[in-house]
């Protein structure tokens, strides 16, 4: 059984049994073989493929088991697996766990506070997080929930270029809420807006 030891931190290692079939684990009569230089050798017996791999002091690795016959390649499996694991770790680092940030308003929020909070929301959206906008009502304010709808509709209109509506404006007990999600190409949109703004300022 082929076991790889993957280093975790400075001292820890973890034994890993690869998913790929390697060398004598490949128990089919024939394979489609790719040489160590990437050259397509063609369909050969598994016995011959193993011989060719051992002649180069390399491994025979099944890289496409569902093909008929399976596709195998001659390579250094230790190096191959290390690079595969590194690519997987780098891919996971790039993944972003989407969070829902919240921005709260009062029903009588003035224009200055409105602008300030919308700009804060843009910072969250730049980080590719969703934003929940909440208007909270207290006491007699509950009789005027239309103010919450109007305020959040202003938010949606203000941010329509860089967001998609994830959850429409809805009333819940003493709040009115909506959730906006950043557009997939929000970074490009904001860069374009910034360039246009700088160009307009240079003309003044």
Q: Are residues 79 and 110 in the same domain?
A: no
pLDDT of 9 over the 60 cut: no
What domain range is 166 assigned to? 100-203
Give, as one character, the DSSP assignment of residue 23.
G
Q: Are residues 104 and 175 in the same domain?
A: yes
Q: Are residues 111 and 179 in the same domain?
A: yes
Q: Are residues 79 and 112 in the same domain?
A: no
Q: Are residues 70 and 107 in the same domain?
A: no
Q: Choose one of 36, 57, 92: the last residue of a domain.
A: 92
Which tens digits make up the pLDDT trace of 10-52?
A: 445 555 566 889 999 999 999 999 999 999 999 999 999 999 9
Which of the pair, 58 or 12, is modelled with greater confidence?
Answer: 58
CATH at 14: 3.10.20.80
pLDDT of 103 over the 70 cut: yes
Q: Over 152-170, what HEC string results?
A: HHHHHHHCCCCEEEEEEEE
Give the H/E segment covering residue 8. Answer: strand 4-8
CATH at 173: 3.30.110.10
pLDDT of 93 over the 80 cut: no
Q: Taking Cα atoms as reference points, which of 115, 93, 95, 90 lies closest to residue 105?
A: 115
Q: Choose one of 92, 113, 144: the last residue of a domain.
A: 92
In this structure, what token pair is assigned to residue 175? 């709040």
Task: Give the residues across from 164 on adjacent strands.
Answer: 181
């Amino acid at each position: 059984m082929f076991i790889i030891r993957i280093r975790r931190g400075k001292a820890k290692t973890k034994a890993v049994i690869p998913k790929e079939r390697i060398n004598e684990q490949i128990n089919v009569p024939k394979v489609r073989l790719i040489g160590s230089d990437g050259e397509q050798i063609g369909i050969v017996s598994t016995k011959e493929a193993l011989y060719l791999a051992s002649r180069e002091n390399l491994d025979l690795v099944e890289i496409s088991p569902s093909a008929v016959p399976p596709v195998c390649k001659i390579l250094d499996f230790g190096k191959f697996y290390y690079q595969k694991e590194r690519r997987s770790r780098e891919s996971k680092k790039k993944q972003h766990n989407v969070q829902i940030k919240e921005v709260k308003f009062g029903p009588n929020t003035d224009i200055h506070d409105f602008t300030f909070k919308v700009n804060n929301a843009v910072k969250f959206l730049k980080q590719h997080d969703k934003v929940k906008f909440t208007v909270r009502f207290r006491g007699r304010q509950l009789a005027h929930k239309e103010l919450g709808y109007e305020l959040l509709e202003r938010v949606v209109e203000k941010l329509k270029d860089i967001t998609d509506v994830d959850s429409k404006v809805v009333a819940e007990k003493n709040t009115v809420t909506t959730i906006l999600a950043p557009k997939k190409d929000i970074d490009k949109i904001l860069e374009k807006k910034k360039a246009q703004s700088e160009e307009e300022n240079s003309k003044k």
